[in-house]
Amino acid sequence: MGNLSAVTIIIIAANIIISYKGFSDYSFFDKYKFQVGAVQRGEQIRLFSSGFLHADNAHLFFNMFTLYFFADVVITLLSTMQFLIIYLGSLLLGSLLSLYFHKNEYHYSAVGASGAVMGVIYSAILLQPGMSLYMFFIPIPIPAYIFGIGYLLYSIYGMKNRIGNIGHDAHFGGAIGGYLITLILSPWLFKTNLLMIGLLAIPILILFVLRRMGKM
C-alpha cells in the first residue's frame, strides 16, 4: 500500500485544485456542492462535482491521505480502469443514498470525496481481506474486515442519530458502491472470499431492514 500510480495522482490533484477553488470562491463552491433542492431541479452535475469539493484543509487532507493508502491495492489487484469505475461509481452511489435519505430536506447540502474513498476502502477489503489497518488512536493492527463491518454499523448509528456534521449516508452509500461494483467486476471473489462477502453484507442488510421498518 501507499504507492502512487498516475491515476491516483490525477485524482488527488483534481481534488486539491477544485477544493482550493471552492475555498476561495464561494459562488463556485455553492454552484457545485451537493444540495437536495438543486439536484431535484435538474442539476445532476452536483452528484459528481460535490465529490471534488471539501469543507476545509483537514477534510481534504484526510480523504486524500486515506485514498493514497488504499488506491494501489485496488489498482494492483484489478486495473486502472476498474479502479476508476469503482471510485466514480462509489461517489455516485454515495450521493444517491444521501438524496434518498434527505429527499424531503430541500436545503440539505454536503461536499467531500468520502463516498468515493469509502468505496475504494471496501473494494480493497474485499480484494485483500487479510490486510490489517492501523488507526491513529489504536496502536495495534485491526483486521480490515472488522474495520469494514464496524464502520458500516457506526454509519447506521450516525445516520439514525445525526451524529456530528458528517455525511454518514454518503459514506455508507460509497461503501455499498465499492462492495457491489467490485463483486460485479470480480465474480471470482464468490469462490475465494464467500464468507467475507457475507459478513460485509450484514450491515448493508441491517440498514435496509431498518429503513423498511421506518426506523431510519
pLDDT in the model for residue 10:
96
pLDDT tens digits for 40-58? 999 999 999 999 999 899 8
**Domain coordinates in residue numbering, the chain:** 6-212
Residue 82's nearest CA partner among 126, 147, 131 is: 126
- Whether this prediction's pTM lies above 0.95 is answered by no
Q: Where does the chain have alpha helices with state H?
A: 6-24, 26-32, 36-40, 46-49, 57-77, 80-101, 114-127, 144-161, 168-185, 189-192, 194-212
Instruction: Output 150 or 189, whichever has higher pLDDT.
Output: 189
Provide, rounded to the nearest whole percent, the portion of the chain with pLDDT above 70. 90
Q: How confident is the model at residue 138 (pLDDT cuts 50, 70, 90)?
A: low
Q: Is the domain 6-212 a CATH 1.20.1540.10 member?
A: yes
Residues 184-211, buried b or exposed e (16+ Cβ, 10 A)?
ebbeebeeebeebbeebeebbeebeeee
pLDDT in the model for residue 147:
78
- Average pLDDT value for residue range 143-169: 72
User: Is the pLDDT reported for residue 135 higher than 70?
Assistant: no
Q: How confident is the model at residue 126 (pLDDT cuts 50, 70, 90)?
A: very high
pLDDT tens digits for 2-36? 457 899 999 999 999 999 999 999 999 999 999 99
Provide, rounded to the nearest whole percent, the portion of the chain with pLDDT above 90. 55
pLDDT tens digits for 62-108? 889 889 988 999 999 999 999 999 999 999 999 999 999 889 999 98
By DSSP bridging, strand 132-135 and strand 138-143 are antiparallel
